[in-house]
Chain A
Amino acid sequence: MTDLFSKFDPLIEQRRALLAGGVEDPFNLVMERVLSPTVAVCNGRETILLGTYNYMGMTFDPDVILAGKQALDDFGSGTTGSRVLNGTYAGHRAVEDALKDFYGMEHAMVFSTGYQANLGIISTVAGKGDYIVLDIDSHASIWDGCKMGDAEVVPFKHNDIVAMEKRLKRIPEGAGKLVVLEGVYSMLGDIAPLKEMIAIAKENGAMVLVDEAHSMGFIGPNGRGVAEEQGVLDDVDFVIGTFSKSVGTVGGFCVSNHPKFEILRLVCRPYVFTASLPPSVVHTAATSIRKLMHAGNKRAHLWENSRTLHKGLRDRGFQLGTEEPQSAIISVIMPDLERGAGMWEALLHEGLYVNLARPPATPAGMTLLRCSLCAEHTAEQVQTIIGMFERAGKKAGII
């Protein structure tokens, strides 16, 4: 018998070698207690959280928590059903209404995760004979959506406007085209030139989907994302988003002005063939989304935090993913996985949690320490974080 697991042997060996060096497993950390959006207890140690994508710090918002508790009392712990059968409660409608108001769009469809939103929309909208043109650094859920559908898939070099245009122009006459882009790319924290790219997509007769998972709530005049910031939201056919970052719970969505959008509820398999989100989740999400519409001060503070951390780390000699802070993600480039894991552990011992990212999730085979800031990080915490990086960086031999 062939052991079907033998294909995992190289990864098993890599992990064994890494852990044999004595470092703590970066992919097996337990948050024993969570004290606030920015502080948890890990391994008995109070730890500042700098890798949670909890950008707006909504997870402990009193109104959000209250809405969730009330929904548990009023509607129970779960729906035990699909959105198209018994799984659409008042709260699911309420959160879709909140999304329509937040984005100023006609239609909103809520999925159980953002992963499923990409999987479902992409695989359903682009079918056999259609072409998907996408950035090579797209999120796994976008790639999996491409794989699940039957469309022809054409990637182009990251953020390369010319490469995108060339490929669009070579698609056979008459074929359906979907261009898939992200507002913020979460590995390096860089943003896309959506204004130029979307203009080219439209010139070439393509529909456009933009994943704004990492921009909701704080990029753009109304927090609608990078497309809004660059003044091209009206040209986006589908915005994909998630509740697992700024909104502070779990779930995913697509908003759109397409007149036939509602038919997707019947034909989109990752929407139909899975249970809907629990009532407590949709009520917390609806409350959070409505509060994010009026979060100007928090937004300003989040940007301050991002600029301070970016400058602080660069001044101390760290190599960062972007020249300027473009989002609430500051990515610190490590020389290799071993030293990256060493640095990650040194930070944890300092009392700081960041995200360790490594190939194949990362571009160009890089090992990254991804820092995501929160509007609830205080200015003092950010200074503390910079000090921790400096000490750990020296200890791990990075700076």
Chain B
Amino acid sequence: MDRAATANRIAELIEPFNKKGIAIAEDTTFAGDLEWDSLTVMDFVAAIEDEFDIIITMNQQAEIETYGQLIDAVTKLQG
């Protein structure tokens, strides 16, 4: 899946987790802008992993702060 298609799928997946209905852009941060706690992060990561059949290790998660970085990482992880 290319970056645009990946971004579309992630946009759908994030919807139920974006409870406050915050407008999400490439530079939106998960901890800062979305104020997600660790449990929400875990459930969201699991949803992404299952959708794309990948694993995003804790080590990789530590590098992902923004929505755009997530799309980049998932695009790359699909190989």
Contact indicator per residue, chain A 64-90, by CB within 8 Å of chain B (1) or not (0): 000000000000000000000000000
A-B contact number at CB 8 A: 33
Q: Which residues of B contact A171 (CB under 8 A)?
A: 55
Chain B residue contacts of A155, Cβ below 8 A: 42, 58
Contacting residues of chain A (163-181) with chain B, CB-CB under 8 angstroms: 163, 166-167, 170-171
Contacts of B59 in A (CB 8 A): 152-153
A364 on the B face (CB < 8 A): yes
Given the known interface contacts A131-B57, A153-B58, A154-B58, the answer about A364 and B46 at a Cβ–Cβ threshold of 8 Å is no
- A191 in contact (CB, < 8 A): no
Complex CA–CA separation, A247 to B12 (angstroms): 52
Cβ of A163: which chain B residues have Cβ within 8 Å of it? 46
Q: Shortest beta-carbon distance, B15 to chain A, in Å?
A: 20
- Main SS at interface, chain A: mixed
Does B37 sit at the interface, judged by CB under 8 A? Answer: yes
Could you tell me if B49 and A152 are in contact, using CB atoms closer than 8 angstroms? no
Q: Which residues of A contact B49 (CB under 8 A)?
A: 166-167, 170
Residues of A within 8 A of B54 (CB): 170
Interface of chain B: mostly helix, strand, loop or mixed: helix
**A365 proximal to B (CB < 8 A):** yes
User: Contact flags (1/0) for A353-366 with B, using CB distance below 8 Å?
Assistant: 00000001000110
Given contacts A152-B59, A153-B57, A153-B59, A166 and B42 within 8 Å (CB-CB): no
**Chain B nearest CB, measured from A270 CB (Å):** 21
Interface residues on B, range: 10 to 19
8 Å CB contacts to A: which residues of B1-60?
37-39, 42-43, 46, 49-50, 53-55, 57-60
**Chain A residues positioned under 8 Å from B43 (CB to CB):** 157
Contacts of A379 in B (CB 8 A): none
Nearest CB in chain A to that of B55: its residue: A170
CA A365 to CA B53, docked complex, whole Å: 29
* Cβ distance A177 to chain B, nearest Cβ, rounded Å: 12
Which A residues have a C-beta under 8 Å from some C-beta of B? 131, 136, 146, 152-157, 163, 166-167, 170-171, 360, 364-365
Shortest beta-carbon distance from B7 to chain A in Å: 22
Closest residue of chain A to B60, judged by CB? A152
Q: State whether A167 touches B55 (Cβ < 8 A).
A: yes
Residues of chain B contacted by A152 (CB below 8 angstroms):
57-60
Using known A-B contacts A166-B50, A167-B49, A170-B49, determine if residue A157 contacts B42 with beta carbons closer than 8 Å: yes
Contacts A/B (CB < 8 Å), 25 sampled: A131-B57, A136-B42, A152-B57, A152-B58, A152-B59, A152-B60, A153-B57, A153-B59, A154-B57, A155-B42, A155-B58, A156-B46, A157-B42, A157-B43, A157-B46, A163-B46, A166-B49, A166-B50, A167-B55, A170-B53, A170-B54, A170-B55, A171-B55, A364-B39, A365-B37
Chain A nearest Cβ from B37, distance in angstroms? 7
Nearest to A152 among chain B residues (CB) is: B57
- The minimal Cβ–Cβ distance linking B55 to chain A, given in whole angstroms, is 5
Residues of A within 8 A of B53 (CB): 170
**Shortest Cβ gap from A162 to chain B (Å):** 10
Docked complex Cα distance between A154 and B43 (Å): 13
Instruction: Collect the chain B residues with CB atoms within 8 Å of residue A136's CB.
Output: 42
Which of B37, B42, B55 lies at the interface centre, i.e. has the most chain A CB atoms within 10 A of its CB?
Answer: B55
Contacts A136-B42, A154-B58, A171-B55 known; list 15 others, CB within 8 Å. A146-B58, A152-B60, A153-B58, A153-B59, A156-B46, A157-B43, A157-B46, A163-B46, A166-B49, A167-B49, A167-B55, A170-B49, A170-B54, A170-B55, A365-B37
CA distance A171 to B39 in the complex (A): 23
A131 cross-chain contacts in B, Cβ below 8 A: 57
